C-alpha cells in the first residue's frame, strides 16, 4: 500500500544522519514530488538510482515515483551515484556541500537528460569529465568573465544551461583567470610582489619593473613603476630631452657640454657639443678644446676631427703634419719633399749671394765710439728679450695667442720650421719626426752658437776686426737665440687647462708631446734636455754678454 506524500520538508532535521536513511521511509509514498532537507545535517553518498530502484548498501527497493525536486543544500553530501529526479523537469540542488564526488558518466547523463542540477558553492572532486564536456561543447561557458572576485584576484566565466555552478569551485583552471596585478593559475592567485606588475588576464608570472624603478604590491600596469630618475619611455627609465643620466640623476646637458637632442641620453655616451671633447672614453662631461680651430679638431662627435687625436684632439694623426697648431693633410705625391728641398737650396743660394754683395759694398765703420754703442745696444736688447722669454717658464700657459708671436716666429730658425718646410712628417714616421723636432729645437741654436765661438780664433787670424766679429756674433745671436729659448720654454711647459681655463688635473699634457702626461715619469729625459737648454740660455749666454767676461 502506498501513502500519499506530496511534499516533505526536513529542514533543520536530526543531525548526523546518513542521506540514505532519508529515502527508506519514503519508498511507499506514491505521489511524492519534492524532498527538501536543507541544512539537515545529512552526510554520505546519494545512492545509485537505476531502473526505478534505489540501491543502498544493504537494501535495494523500488521507489514509488521519481521526484521533481530534491534539495539537499548545505549538508555534507560527499558522493553522488544517482539522481532520483524526473528528466527534463527535475531539479537536484546540492549547493554548499563542500567537496562532492560524482560517479563517472553521471554528469553526462544529467546534461543529456536536461536535469537542472545546482552545484553552487560546491567543489567538484573529480573534474575530468566536466572538463571534457566543456571542451566538447556539451557544457557552454560565457564569452567573457561573468564573475569577479577583487579580494582574491580572479575573474571567471560562467556555465550556461541546466548545470549551475560556482566556476572557481567547479572548473577553476578552465573557467577562471587571475586579474591584472595578480599572478597564478585559475582561481589560485596572488598579488604581484613589489617592483613587479601584470597588465594582462591569466598571467602566471608578473613582469619585473624596468631598472631603476619601483612599484607597490599588486601593480596592474607598467606605469605603476615609478622611476628613480626621469620618466618611463618605451619600457625604460630615461631622462627627458636635453637631459642626460649622470650619477643616477638627470642633469641638464648644457652643463656637461653634451648634445642631448633625444630622450634617454646617458652622460657617458652622449655626443659632445661642437668644440668640445671628452678627456677619456665614457667620461660624463666634455671639455673645451684648445684653439685654434676648436670646431675643426672637435667637430661635435664621438671622435676627433680628421687628422686629430689625443687629449682634447690636440695631436696629429699619421698622414697629417703639425703646422701653427693645426693638423694639415700631407700631399699625396711622394716627391713633394724633393721640391721643398730644392726650393730651400735656391733660397739659400740667393741669401748667400746677397750677403756677399752686401759685404763687398759695405761702408767702412765710423768711429770707435759709434762701434761701441752699436755693440752695447743689441746686447741690452737681447738681454731684455732673453728674460722676457725665460719668464714664460714660471708662468701658467695661456690659450690666447699673444701679439708678439708672429714677430718671434719670424725670427726663429729652428728644427721645427725646417721640418715643416721639408714636410718631413709626411715622408717619415710622423710621431718620430715630431719627437726629434721637439728635442732638437732648443739644441740646434746652441750648436750653431758654439760653432761661431769655435770660428772666433780663425776669424781673428784672417784679419777680421773685433767690431766685425762682435757684430757677426750678435746677428747670429739675434737670428738663433729667441727661437731656441722659445723652443726650450715650449719643451718644458705643460698644457694644464682646457679651452675654458678649467684645470685638466691628471690629464695635463706637455705642449711639445701631446701624448705625454705632465705627471708621467717617462718624461724624465725630456726634462733633462729642457732644463739643460734653459741653463744655457738663461745663465751661460747672458754671462758671455756681460762686459768684462768676453774674450
pLDDT for the residue numbered 497:
95
Range in 79-83, 88-92, 131-135, 348-352 with the lowest mean pLDDT: 348-352
How confident is residue 36, by pLDDT bands cut at 50, 70 and 90? confident
E strand or H helix at 160: strand 159-160
pLDDT for the residue numbered 347:
74
User: Where do the structural domains in the chain lie, given as residue ranges?
Assistant: 19-179, 239-329, 408-550
Q: Report in angstroms the alpha-carbon separations of 457 from 309, 469, 476, 481, 551.
A: 50, 10, 17, 22, 11
Over the stretch 163-196, which tens digit does the pLDDT of each residue have?
999 999 999 999 999 999 999 999 999 999 999 9
Query: Which of 1-15, 34-48, 246-260, 323-337 ranks highest by mean pLDDT?
Result: 246-260
Mean pLDDT on 191-209: 96
- State the cell numbers at 299: 667637430
More confident residue, 366 or 316: 316
**DSSP states of 100-153 as a string?**
EEE-TTHHHHHHHTT-EEEETT-EES--HHHHHHHHHTSSEE-SS--EEETTTT
Distance CA 83, CA 106 (A): 8
pLDDT for the residue numbered 18:
83
Over the stretch 89-120, which tens digit does the pLDDT of each residue have?
889 999 999 899 999 999 999 999 889 999 99
Mean pLDDT on 52-57: 69
pLDDT for the residue numbered 363:
42
Mean pLDDT on 377-387: 49
Range in 109-118, 433-442, 488-497 with the lowest mean pLDDT: 433-442
Range in 94-103, 224-233, 261-270, 400-409 with the lowest mean pLDDT: 400-409
pLDDT for the residue numbered 2:
41
Q: What percent of the chain has pLDDT over 90?
A: 42
List all residues 6 or more positions away from 295 whose beta carbon is below 8 Å from its beta carbon: 274, 275
Nearest residue to 262 (alpha-carbon basis) of 284, 285, 246, 244: 244
How confident is residue 244, by pLDDT bands cut at 50, 70 and 90? very high
Residue 332 has pLDDT above 80, yes or no: no
Strands (E), 374-461: none
Three-class DSSP category at 534: helix
Residue 241 has pLDDT above 60, yes or no: yes
E strand or H helix at 93: strand 91-93
Contact 299, 293 (CB under 8 A): no
List all residues 6 or more positions away from 97 whose beta carbon is below 8 Å from its beta carbon: 72, 73, 74, 75, 76, 77, 78, 122
List all residues 6 or more positions away from 343 whose beta carbon is below 8 Å from its beta carbon: none
317, with CB counted inside 10 A (0-12, 13-18, 19+), is middle
pLDDT for the residue numbered 476:
64
Residue 37 has pLDDT above 60, yes or no: yes
How confident is residue 75, by pLDDT bands cut at 50, 70 and 90? very high
Residue 398 has pLDDT above 60, yes or no: no
Distance CA 119, CA 141 (A): 15
Query: Which of 36-50, 383-397, 468-482 ranks highest by mean pLDDT?
Result: 36-50
Range in 235-249, 304-318, 450-464 with the lowest mean pLDDT: 450-464
More confident residue, 387 or 317: 317
Distance CA 409, CA 229 (A): 54
pLDDT for the residue numbered 7:
55
- State the cell numbers at 325: 697648431
**Sign of the torsion angle spanned by Cα atoms 355, 460, 479, 438:** positive
- State the cell numbers at 321: 703634419
Contact 493, 395 (CB under 8 A): no
pLDDT for the residue numbered 220:
96
pLDDT for the residue numbered 530:
86
pLDDT for the residue numbered 352:
66
Residue 390 has pLDDT above 50, yes or no: no
**Sign of the torsion angle spanned by Cα atoms 247, 252, 258, 259:** positive
pLDDT for the residue numbered 221:
95
Over the stretch 268-326, which tens digit does the pLDDT of each residue have?
999 999 999 999 999 999 999 999 888 999 999 999 999 999 999 999 998 888 888 89
Contact 227, 212 (CB under 8 A): yes
Contact 409, 486 (CB under 8 A): no
Distance CA 547, CA 528 (A): 30
Query: Which of 1-5, 168-172, 229-233, 453-457 ranks highest by mean pLDDT?
Result: 168-172
**Sign of the torsion angle spanned by Cα atoms 437, 438, 441, 446:** negative
Residue 236 has pLDDT above 80, yes or no: yes
How confident is residue 216, by pLDDT bands cut at 50, 70 and 90? very high
Q: Residues 247-252: contacts with CB within 8 Å, 24+ apart?
A: 247/284, 248/212
pLDDT for the residue numbered 538:
82
Mean pLDDT, the chain, integer:
79
Q: What percent of the chain has pLDDT over 70?
A: 70
Place of cell 739675434: 478
pLDDT for the residue numbered 350:
79
Range in 61-65, 173-177, 540-544 with the lowest mean pLDDT: 61-65
Amino acid at each position: 500500500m502506498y501513502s500519499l506524500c506530496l511534499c516533505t520538508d526536513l529542514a533543520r532535521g536530526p543531525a548526523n544522519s546518513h542521506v540514505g536513511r532519508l529515502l527508506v521511509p519514503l519508498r511507499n509514498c506514491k505521489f511524492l514530488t519534492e524532498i527538501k532537507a536543507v541544512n539537515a545535517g545529512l552526510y554520505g553518498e546519494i545512492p545509485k538510482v537505476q531502473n526505478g530502484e534505489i540501491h543502498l548498501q544493504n537494501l535495494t527497493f523500488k521507489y514509488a515515483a521519481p521526484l521533481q525536486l530534491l534539495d539537499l543544500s548545505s549538508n555534507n553530501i560527499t558522493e553522488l551515484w544517482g539522481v532520483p529526479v524526473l528528466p527534463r523537469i527535475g531539479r537536484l540542488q546540492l549547493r554548499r556541500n563542500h567537496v562532492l564526488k560524482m560517479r563517472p558518466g553521471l554528469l553526462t547523463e544529467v546534461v543529456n537528460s536536461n536535469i537542472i542540477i545546482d552545484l553552487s558553492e560546491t567543489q567538484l572532486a573529480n573534474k575530468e569529465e566536466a572538463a571534457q564536456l566543456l571542451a566538447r561543447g556539451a557544457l557552454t561557458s560565457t564569452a567573457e568573465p561573468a564573475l569577479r572576485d577583487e579580494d582574491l584576484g580572479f575573474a571567471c566565466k560562467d556555465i550556461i544551461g541546466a548545470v549551475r555552478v560556482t566556476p572557481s569551485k567547479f572548473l577553476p583552471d578552465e573557467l577562471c583567470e587571475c586579474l591584472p596585478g595578480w599572478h597564478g593559475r585559475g582561481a589560485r592567485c596572488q598579488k604581484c610582489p613589489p617592483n613587479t606588475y601584470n597588465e594582462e588576464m591569466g598571467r602566471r608570472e608578473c613582469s619585473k619593473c624596468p631598472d631603476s624603478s619601483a612599484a607597490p604590491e599588486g601593480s596592474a600596469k607598467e606605469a605603476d613603476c615609478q622611476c628613480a630618475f626621469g620618466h618611463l619611455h618605451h619600457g625604460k627609465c630615461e631622462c627627458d630631452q636635453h637631459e642626460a643620466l649622470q650619477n643616477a640623476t638627470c642633469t641638464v646637458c648644457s652643463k656637461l657640454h653634451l648634445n642631448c637632442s633625444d630622450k634617454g641620453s646617458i652622460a657617458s655616451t652622449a655626443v659632445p657639443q661642437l668644440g668640445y671633447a671628452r678627456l677619456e672614453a665614457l667620461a660624463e662631461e666634455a671639455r673645451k678644446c684648445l684653439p685654434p680651430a676648436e670646431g675643426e679638431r672637435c667637430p661635435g662627435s664621438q671622435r676627433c676631427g680628421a687628422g686629430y687625436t689625443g687629449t682634447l684632439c690636440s695631436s696629429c694623426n699619421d698622414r697629417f703634419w703639425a703646422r701653427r697648431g693645426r693638423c694639415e693633410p700631407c700631399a699625396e705625391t711622394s716627391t713633394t719633399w724633393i721640391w721643398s728641398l730644392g726650393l730651400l737650396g735656391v733660397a739659400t743660394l740667393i741669401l748667400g749671394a746677397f750677403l756677399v754683395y752686401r759685404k763687398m759694398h759695405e761702408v767702412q765703420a765710423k768711429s770707435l765710439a759709434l762701434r761701441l754703442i752699436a755693440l752695447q745696444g743689441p746686447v741690452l736688447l737681447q738681454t731684455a728679450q732673453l728674460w722676457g722669454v725665460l719668464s714664460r717658464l714660471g708662468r701658467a700657459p695661456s690659450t690666447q695667442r699673444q701679439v708678439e708671436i708672429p714677430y718671434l716666429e719670424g725670427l726663429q730658425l729652428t728644427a721645427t720650421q725646417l721640418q715643416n718646410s721639408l714636410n718631413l712628417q709626411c715622408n717619415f714616421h710622423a710621431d718620430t719626426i715630431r719627437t726629434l723636432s721637439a728635442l732638437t729645437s732648443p739644441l740646434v741654436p746652441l750648436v750653431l752658437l758654439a760653432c761661431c765661438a769655435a770660428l772666433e780664433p780663425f776669424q781673428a787670424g784672417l784679419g777680421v776686426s773685433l767690431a766685425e766679429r762682435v757684430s757677426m756674433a750678435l746677428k747670429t745671436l739675434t737670428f738663433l737665440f729667441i727661437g731656441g729659448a722659445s723652443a726650450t720654454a715650449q719643451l718644458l711647459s705643460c698644457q694644464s687647462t682646457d679651452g675654458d681655463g678649467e684645470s685638466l688635473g691628471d690629464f695635463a699634457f706637455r705642449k711639445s708631446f701631446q701624448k705625454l702626461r705632465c705627471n708621467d715619469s717617462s718624461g724624465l729625459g725630456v726634462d733633462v734636455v729642457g732644463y739643460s737648454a734653459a741653463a744655457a740660455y738663461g745663465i751661460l749666454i747672458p754671462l758671455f754678454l756681460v762686459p768684462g767676461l768676453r774674450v
